[in-house]
């Protein structure tokens, strides 16, 4: 009864079991890939906080087995339909004597063969059931000792000098993190703990990510999340917040998608001095801030006094690819500038550009997934012949396992 009820209330929970996914979160990664094409030109991936392994399962089926899902599956179907229509027409031959249709089919078969150049490493505190082509590590991503383990898994014969520096001999193309803390219901506390987990994932990613790489991580949206966006913008050219359709609208979770890794000049990743600790990150924010030109200001100038009367919200700094579209918006708390009055005059605005201000950045927000897909917050009627399935992969060592054993022991003692 409970399983049938959940199948009705959560369509993605039901689909995950029917399609062989370990968890419904697999659809989140697939919908993110539909929007951002995350797996393009990717062969080396690190999956953090991977248990029970649904994201690693997606990586295995897409990158190693060359299976197609979502938008790519539809495009493949359209291509197959076009080839079927072409087969009705007189066959055009290639210089080698084979038809164009046969050549296209042969190329498709070659592309669908399993790849052996893919390296995927999954890390989690909990044990992960084995997956084809996936290297699994049981480790803590917040502990410095995890970096040598990860580097050894990525490059068994890595260069000794780069290993001593804590860097990968062959950096990875993509780092994923779907980790989240055990929520308490106190939103401010949950958001803070999640941000620290994201910093731990980012610190690990900076040690193994190659220039131009991608970073995707779960976040909890809160009051000051724009500060986190500004900090991530230091390292990546493009930062977007995405909400997959399979993620419940009632949940404050979202996913930060960071594209084109470009570390600041002279930056060296090290867990001896991780980000989010000390003043190094704030200093890097200010250095990156000074490199951005001021294009517009959200303030009105008093024609009599010549002073800038700023709105209570902020002074804005914008970067535009052209004059017709604004692509980025940076916001600064003007109450922390100068004397804290919140009013700028011509001289103070020009001379205090690098003063102590809290850098904030409003990242673009994107909803991922086809509108015709299931709504994760809706309930659907089940067909009459529906049979509720068991989960594909139950947890190997769940945190509540000890509690279940104790309860079973107590029940036997009472009897």
Q: Residue 349 has what pLDDT?
A: 41
Residue 403, pLDDT above cutoff 90: no
Burial (CB count within 10 angstroms: exposed 0-12, middle 13-18, buried 19+), residue 56: buried
DSSP conformation class of 99: B
Confidence at 166, pLDDT banded by 50, 70, 90:
low
The lowest-confidence range among 1-15, 80-94, 265-279, 294-308 is 294-308
The lowest-confidence range among 15-24, 150-159, 314-323, 400-409 is 314-323
Q: Is 178 marked as a binding-site residue?
A: yes
Tens of pLDDT, residue by residue over 175-200, are 999 999 888 889 889 999 999 899 99
> In the chain, what percentage of residues exceed pLDDT 70?
64
| Coil/strand/helix, residue 331 | strand
Mean pLDDT value across residues 47-54:
94
Determine the Cα–Cα distance for residues 378 and 308; give it in Å rounded to an integer. Answer: 50
Residue 262, pLDDT above cutoff 70: yes
Mean pLDDT value across residues 240-265:
93
Phi-psi region of 276 (alpha: psi -120 to 50; beta: other; left: phi over 0): left
Q: Is 190 marked as a binding-site residue?
A: no
Mean pLDDT value across residues 129-141:
92
What rounded mean pLDDT belongs to the chain? Answer: 77
Q: Which ranges constitute the DSSP H helices of 145-186? A: 146-154, 160-164
Q: Residue 73 has what pLDDT?
A: 59
Q: Residue 145 has what pLDDT?
A: 87
Q: Is 222 marked as a binding-site residue?
A: no
Residue 326, pLDDT above cutoff 70: no
Superfamily assignment of 20-85+113-289+367-414 in CATH? Vaccinia Virus protein VP39 (3.40.50.150)
145-to-121, 140, 204 alpha-carbon distances in Å: 16, 8, 11
Q: Dig out the tokens for 215 from the structure.
A: 């970073």
C-beta of residue 184 within 8 angstroms of C-beta of residue 199: no
Helix (H) or strand (E) holding 215: strand 209-220
Determine the Cα–Cα distance for residues 134 and 64; give it in Å rounded to an integer. Answer: 10
C-beta of residue 358 within 8 angstroms of C-beta of residue 227: yes
Tens of pLDDT, residue by residue over 51-83, are 999 999 999 999 999 888 866 655 666 666 666
Residue 218 a catalytic site member: yes
Provide long-range contacts, Cβ within 8 A and 24+ apart, for 376-380.
376/10, 376/11, 376/12, 376/245, 376/246, 376/247, 376/248, 376/249, 377/248, 377/249, 377/250, 378/11, 379/8, 379/9, 380/8, 380/11
Angle formed at CA 347 by CA 346 and CA 348, multiple of 5 degrees: 100
Q: Residue 334 has what pLDDT?
A: 42
Beta sheet of 343-344, edge-to-edge order: 299-301, 308-310, 343-344
The lowest-confidence range among 33-37, 226-230, 306-310 is 306-310
In 30-118, which ranges are E strands?
A: 44-48
Catalytic hit among 167, 218, 233, 243: 218
Q: Residue 25 has what pLDDT?
A: 95
C-beta of residue 175 within 8 angstroms of C-beta of residue 55: no
Q: Is 97 marked as a binding-site residue?
A: no
Residue 154, pLDDT above cutoff 80: yes
Q: Which one has a higher pLDDT value, 106 or 42? A: 42
Tens of pLDDT, residue by residue over 362-382, are 888 999 888 888 899 999 988
Q: Is 185 marked as a binding-site residue?
A: no
Q: Which of 225, 141, 235 is nearest to 179 (CA)?
A: 141
C-beta of residue 291 within 8 angstroms of C-beta of residue 330: no
Confidence at 323, pLDDT banded by 50, 70, 90:
very low
Determine the Cα–Cα distance for residues 27 and 244; give it in Å rounded to an integer. Answer: 8
C-alpha Rg value of the chain to the nearest Å:
26
Residue 279, pLDDT above cutoff 80: no
Q: Residue 309: which residues within 8 A CB-CB, separation 6 or more?
A: 299, 300, 301, 302, 343
In 262-401, which ranges are E strands?
A: 299-301, 308-310, 315-322, 325-332, 343-344, 359-362, 365-368
Angle formed at CA 229 by CA 226 and CA 235, multiple of 5 degrees: 155
Q: Tell me whether strands 325-332 and 315-322 are parallel, antiparallel or unpaired.
A: antiparallel
Residue 7, pLDDT above cutoff 80: yes
Strand-pairing partners, residue 123, are: 48, 137
Q: Residue 80 has what pLDDT?
A: 62
């Amino acid at each position: 009864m409970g399983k049938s009820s959940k199948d009705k209330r959560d369509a993605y929970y039901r689909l995950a079991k029917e399609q062989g996914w370990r968890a419904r979160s697999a659809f989140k990664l697939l919908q993110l890939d539909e929007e951002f094409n995350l797996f393009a030109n990717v062969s080396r991936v690190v999956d953090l906080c991977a248990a029970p392994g649904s994201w690693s399962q997606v990586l295995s089926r897409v990158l190693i087995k060359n299976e197609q899902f979502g938008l790519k599956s539809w495009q493949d179907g359209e291509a197959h339909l076009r080839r079927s229509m072409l087969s009705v027409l007189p066959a055009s031959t290639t210089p080698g004597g084979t038809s164009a249709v046969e050549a296209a089919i042969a190329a498709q078969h070659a592309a669908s063969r399993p790849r052996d150049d893919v390296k995927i490493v999954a890390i989690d505190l909990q044990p992960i059931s084995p997956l084809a082509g996936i290297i699994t590590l049981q480790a803590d991503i917040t502990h410095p000792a995890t970096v040598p383990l990860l580097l050894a898994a990525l490059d068994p014969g890595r260069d000794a000098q780069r290993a001593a520096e804590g860097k990968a001999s062959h950096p990875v193309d993509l780092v994923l993190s779907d980790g989240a803390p055990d929520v308490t219901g106190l939103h401010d506390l949950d958001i803070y703990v999640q941000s620290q987990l994201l910093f731990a994932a980012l610190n690990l990613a900076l040690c193994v990510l190659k220039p131009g790489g991608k970073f995707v991580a779960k976040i909890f949206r809160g009051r000051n999340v724009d500060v986190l966006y500004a900090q991530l913008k230091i390292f990546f050219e493009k930062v977007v917040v995405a909400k997959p359709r399979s993620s419940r609208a009632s949940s404050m979770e979202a996913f930060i998608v960071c594209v084109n890794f470009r570390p600041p000049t002279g930056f060296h990743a090290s867990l001896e001095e991780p980000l989010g600790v000390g003043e190094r990150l704030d200093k890097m924010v200010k250095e990156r801030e000074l490199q951005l030109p001021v294009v517009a200001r959200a303030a009105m100038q008093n024609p009599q006094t010549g002073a800038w009367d700023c709105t209570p919200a902020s002074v804005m700094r914008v970067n535009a690819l052209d004059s017709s579209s604004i692509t980025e918006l940076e916001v600064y708390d003007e109450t922390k500038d100068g004397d804290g009055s919140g009013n700028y005059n011509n001289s103070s605005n020009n001379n205090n550009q690098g003063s102590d201000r809290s850098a904030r950045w409003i990242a673009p927000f994107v909803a991922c997934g086809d509108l015709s897909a299931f709504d994760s917050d809706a309930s659907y009627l089940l067909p009459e012949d529906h049979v509720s399935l068991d989960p594909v992969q139950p947890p190997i060592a769940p945190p509540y396992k000890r509690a279940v054993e104790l309860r079973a022991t107590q029940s036997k003692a009472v009897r």
